[in-house]
Each structure stands twice: as C-alpha cells, then as structure tokens.
Amino acid sequence: MKLLGISCYYHDSAACLVDDGRIVAAAQEERFSRKKHDDRFPVHAVRYCLAEGGVVGGAGELAGVVFYDKPLLKFHRILENYFAVAPRGLRSAAMALPLWLREKLWIPPRIHESLAECGVEGTPKIYFAEHHESHAASAFYPSPFEEAAILTLDGVGEWATTTIGVGEGERIRLLEAIEYPHSLGLLYSALTYFTGFKVNSGEYKLMGLAPYGKPVYADLIRRELIDVRDDGSFRLNLEYFGFRDGLEMTNDKFAKLFGGPARKPESRITRREMDLARSIQTVTEEVVLKLARQARDRTGKRHLCLAGGVALNCVANGILLREKIFDDIWIQPAAGDAGGALGAPLALWHNAWGKPRRVTPGRDSMRAALLGPEIPDAEAKAWLDSIGAPYEELPPAEWAKRIARLLAEENVVGLCQGRMEFGPRALGSRSILGDPRSPKMQSVMNLKIKYRESFRPFAPSVLEEKVAEYFALDRPSPYMLLVAPVLEKRRLPLAGDEEAADDLLAVVNRPRSDVPAITHVDYSARIQTVNREENPRYWAVIKEFENLTGCGLVTNTSFNVRGEPIVCTPEDAYRCFMRTEMDYLVVGSLLLDKKRQPQREEKGDWRQEFQLD
C-alpha cells in the first residue's frame, strides 16, 4: 500500500513515498535541479522516491498520489483577494492568474504525465489534502507521542495561516484557525524583505541577525503592525503591507514608520537592521508562546507538535521548550512546504483511511531525516576516475579516525556520505565540518567557504550523550531545530559593547567560549545532537574527534555555497569543493586532498549561477 506525496508550485517542491504508513523516501526537487527553493513540479524527486521504493511497473503498485493542498480552494482565495483590493493589484494579478490557469490548476494531468516519464503506466487515483492538514500530519504522525496538541504556522495555505489542532492515535483534528491576510509568517517575511533579505529564503538570516540588536522597535510593531490577543489570535494592520495588491511585501507607509526605505540587498547592514531583526524576533516569540498556551488550554495535552515555515524558527522553539508550557515538543525537520509532501500521504493513510499508527515512545519515525539518495562508492569512483581526480580509499576502521584527525588539525572537510537529509538542515550526510575550538573558524567558513555574510552562526553537532556538558539542554535535538545557551562554565567574558557595536565583523570575531566557532553573539547555539544508533558514521567521526581533542562536538554547516542548494551527487560535491577553500572532501569512503587535485577552469564567474538569498 504505497502512497506518493507531492508538494509544489509555491516554494521547496518535494516528493515522498510512504509504504503502509512507513516513510520510505523523501527529497526536495532543488537537490536534483540545482535551483534553490525550486517550486516546479518535482519530476526528479518523484523519480527518486519511486525508484527507492521499488515502484517500477504499473500504477497498481501505487495506492494513490496525494497532493499537499487544494489548488481550487487556494485559487478561490487568490481571486477573492484581487477582487477585494481592485483596481489595485492589477499588475500582480496579470502575472499570477495566467500561471494558475495554465499550470497550477491542472494537477492530475501533470501527475499522470510525470509518472509516465518515470516509467509508471496507468493512472493512479489522486487525492488532495488541505495545506495545514498536511503540515499537521507531518508534525504529529512521525512524532514519538501517542497524543499531542498540534500548532502549525506559515505564510498562508489555502486560507489558513495558523492552526491549533489535536492528534490522538491515528486521528488529527484542526480546532482553530487564523486566516489570510492575517499571518505571522507574512509579517516575519515583510521584515525579512525590509532588512534586505530574500522572502521565503532569508528569514533564517533575520533570526541569526537578531542577537546583534535591541528590541527598540518591538512596541512600534505591536502598536502599528500586529494586534495580538491573550489567546494568541492576531490581526495585521494591512495599511502597511504590499503583499495583497503589489509586488513587494511592504509599502511607503511601512518605510515611513521605520525611518526610510528598505535596505538594498548586499548593502551594509546598519544598526537599524540589527534592531529590526531583534524586534520582530521578540514579537514572534511572544505570539508563539501565546498560541502554545492556547493550544495547551484547548487540548489539555502534555505534548506539542509543530510544523509550518515559522516552526523553523529554532530560537522561538528553544524559548517555547524552556517555558515548560508542554512537557516536550517535537518539530517536523522539513517544517516548510517540502514537509507537506510527507504529511499529505500520512494524512490520507491515517486520518482519512483510519489505518493504525505505530509509535515508539522516545523515538520518532523520521529515520533521522536521512531519506534521500545514497551515493554508492562504485558510482563515486567511476565519476572521479572519469575526470582524473585523485583520491584515497579509506578502510572502514580508519574512516572516522582520519576525518577526525584532519578536523583536529583545523582543516575544513566536506562530508558527503550516506543518505541525503530531507529538510533545510545538513545533519552530517551533506555537511561541511570544522574545529569548533578555533576562534577563526566561523569567519573562515563564512567568507572563504560559504561566501556569505560574516555574522551568520554555525551549528554544533554534538554527541547526544554529551549535550548537557556543553549546553543548557536536557534532551535530544536531532534536527537542529532548538537553540539553547552555552553553559556558563564554558563562556568567556564579553568585551562589553556587543549590543552597541555597528561593525558586525569585529563583533563576530570575538571568542565567547571554549568552543567559539559555534557560540553566537548571545552565547547561544543551534544544536544538533547525534545519536549512535540512528546516525552511526557521523557519530563515529565526532567520537574520534573527542578522543583526539577532548571536545565532543564539531562545527557543522550545509555543504553548499551561498545561494546553492545542498549538494546531492559526487559531481555536486566535487564542484563545490573545488570552487571554495575547503581543504579535504570525503565522498563515501573516498578522501580527496585539495592540494592533489588537477587545476579546474571556470568560465566566467560561477557565483552568478546562484541567486543570492
């Protein structure tokens, strides 16, 4: 009983295969197409999922295909919005409506066409889930909880932007909803745009920038932009926004409110942007906490599951955990639209068809989010041999030890091994690793490897059993979705002017703990705990690094440069390796030394390939 889930046409298109309620494979289209946040129909991801699940023949092998939202309902909302603001919004409507009429409304024929391209004959039945039902299903069904409250927050689905629901056994119910145009996700995106970052891509930059500022605009945001009630419900003041009737998120009135026009992308980040980031982050955290309290009161459940793009705000997640509104929380690692491809078939299987759910207390069913393709050594060797790239094959007993030794010598190592991660975080399969003890590692990896803004923090990957030795966190965080403080005993005193400094680079380069490369300006870290059973090879690397250095964590960032999707294949990994100042590359069991590689000629500036976010 195999079900194929699909999400597409907005951002982060993806596909997922579920077999008897078990997640078999899931991947985002961007990893194959090399277009970040690719919103097109996920032909490559569908092909991969079907192959991984052994669906190679007739459509009878599929019990159905489930789309993650209801296009007709979404189209109705878009039409109603344009009618409500007419004659304003004519230009936006002229751009959007033809695309809907030409492509986005024709999901069934596009699915059948895609399956035919993948060699699947026949026409499997197609089902549609509501957008926030897909989010809720992706949050609850893979969670380790028998029952839980469910909170979903994003920009907008069909109509809903926020929902509170409940999951019990195989059933989920959505109990409350806030509808478009009132959206916490769109408010956060508006500030993302205004501070010079890309909407639906740069929101995590705003979160990373926030600790450098002060919440001086928080009262102004509360007074003018969003009215929040005690139960977490809210309304936006639409006079300040342009997303309903224009091509930009904010308007001139918004700019006047904050003392001038939006920051131009790539221009200098000023004190205003730092303070705006801190202010909207503060307001977002307040709304999330109020919604969580309402969810607890409405459902009476001890646990909470989260999904939707706002659930990727790991700072808010960490605060929610520490507030102890719930005994525990679980966040879908692919919380954005990609995760809808996973939630939709689970919603059909359990909620619509009533199939029983298997729960393992204390362990989710996401398989460590390692749901993408794996690279066989034979395939990697064949490709490297074809371009004359020298490599060394590491014996299994030496593999983790050699990588750990290179890291201890302050080399930067690209690691491409095992099944690719599903979701926006690299979790040790497609990661770039460094020594967290090095005070220069953050700026080196930002400016010479990732080619991105210097203020961006890096995450620690820490042995699950050692997390409490470094951070104020008493439970696993396998998906890098919780921020927690570095322990007091590991901190170094601040210079005293961090919150007032206008020179970001100078602030970034100040060591703040005995693991400075992963310690953010506010002594926090976005933590990934690594479990020996679920991620054994990556765990072994960190363990060997601890044996050499006494430090049970490494610096981890995604294996890509700025604007590029995370690497998928040996070719992607090698190209990224050669374009940056990475020192070593590991592909499966193969180790490549940058100094031994042949010269690689690039035509033009390769950075123009990727849109900056």
Q: Is residue 491 part of a domain?
A: yes
Mean pLDDT for 589-600 is: 95
Beta bridge partners of 226: 236
Specify whether the CB–CB gap between 15 and 343 falls below 8 A.
no
Strands 160-168 and 171-179: antiparallel
Q: What pLDDT shows up at residue 60?
A: 67
Bigger pLDDT: 331 or 83? 331
State the Cα–Cα distance between residues 299 and 112, nearest whole angstrom.
40
Q: Is residue 169 part of a domain?
A: no
Q: What pLDDT shows up at residue 517?
A: 92
Q: What is the CATH number of the domain that holds 353?
A: 3.30.420.40
- Both 361 and 402 in a single domain? no
**Which residue type does 24 have?**
V
Q: Is residue 171 part of a domain?
A: no
- Both 410 and 535 in a single domain? yes
Mean pLDDT for 189-204 is: 95
For 112-167, write each residue's pLDDT tens digit: 988 888 878 778 899 999 999 999 999 999 999 999 999 999 999 999 999 999 99
E strands, 194-342, where?
226-228, 234-236, 303-307, 328-331
State the Cα–Cα distance between residues 55 and 574, nearest whole angstrom.
31
What's CA 548's distance to the chain center, in Å?
Answer: 32
> How many domains is the chain partitioned into structurally?
3
- Both 202 and 223 in a single domain? yes
State the Cα–Cα distance between residues 304 and 284, nearest whole angstrom.
18
| DSSP state letters, 221-247 | IIIIIEEE-TTS-EEE-GGGB-TTTSS
State the Cα–Cα distance between residues 161 and 254, nearest whole angstrom.
22
Strands 553-558 and 430-434: antiparallel
Q: What pLDDT shows up at residue 506?
A: 63
Residue 496 has pLDDT above 80, yes or no: no
Specify whether the CB–CB gap between 214 and 271 falls below 8 A.
no
Q: Which residues, including other chains, have CB under 8 Å from residue 515's CB and lie 6 or more apart?
A: 436, 437, 460, 470, 486, 490, 551, 553
State the Cα–Cα distance between residues 499 and 223, nearest whole angstrom.
24
- Both 298 and 206 in a single domain? yes
- Both 316 and 464 in a single domain? no
**Which residue type does 240 have?**
Y
Active site residues: 11
Residue 417 has pLDDT above 60, yes or no: yes
State the Cα–Cα distance between residues 24 and 365, nearest whole angstrom.
10
Boundaries of domain holding 447: 377-609
Mean pLDDT of the chain: 93
Q: What pLDDT shows up at residue 122?
A: 79
Beta bridge partners of 168: 147, 171
Tell which residue, 182, 476, 153, 530, has the closest CA to residue 305. Answer: 153
Mean pLDDT for 557-567 is: 95
Show the tokens assigned to 291. Answer: 């919604």
Looking up tokens 């699940």 gives 53
Q: Is residue 535 part of a domain?
A: yes
Q: Is residue 372 part of a domain?
A: no
Q: Is residue 509 part of a domain?
A: yes
- Both 454 and 538 in a single domain? yes
Q: What pLDDT shows up at residue 59?
A: 57
State the Cα–Cα distance between residues 574 and 420, nearest whole angstrom.
16
What's CA 258's distance to the chain center, in Å?
Answer: 29
- Both 458 and 586 in a single domain? yes
Sheet holding 303-307, edge to edge: 171-179, 160-168, 147-153, 303-307, 328-331
Q: Is residue 164 part of a domain?
A: no
- Both 351 and 450 in a single domain? no
Mean pLDDT for 582-596 is: 98
Tell which residue, 581, 532, 530, 577, has the closest CA to residue 428. Answer: 530
Helix (H) or strand (E) holding 29: none
Specify whether the CB–CB gap between 554 and 434 falls below 8 A.
yes
Length of the chain: 613
Beta bridge partners of 463: 530
**Which residue type does 168 have?**
E
Q: What pLDDT shows up at residue 450?
A: 82
Bigger pLDDT: 562 or 477? 477
Q: Is residue 158 part of a domain?
A: no
- Both 296 and 235 in a single domain? yes
**Which residue type does 383 have?**
W
Mean pLDDT for 309-333 is: 98
Q: What pLDDT shows up at residue 499?
A: 52
Bigger pLDDT: 70 or 613? 70
- Both 226 and 359 in a single domain? no
Helix (H) or strand (E) holding 132: helix 131-140
State the Cα–Cα distance between residues 138 and 40, nearest whole angstrom.
21
E strands, 369-471, where?
392-393, 413-416, 430-434, 459-463
Q: Rounded to two decimals, what is the model's pTM?
A: 0.95
Q: What is the CATH number of the domain that holds 592?
A: 3.90.870.20
- Both 429 and 358 in a single domain? no
Specify whether the CB–CB gap between 265 and 197 falls below 8 A.
yes
Mean pLDDT for 429-453 is: 86
Residue 226 has pLDDT above 60, yes or no: yes
For 263-317, write each residue's pLDDT tens digit: 999 899 999 999 999 999 999 999 999 999 999 999 999 999 999 999 999 999 9
- Both 318 and 184 in a single domain? yes
Specify whether the CB–CB gap between 35 and 565 falls below 8 A.
yes
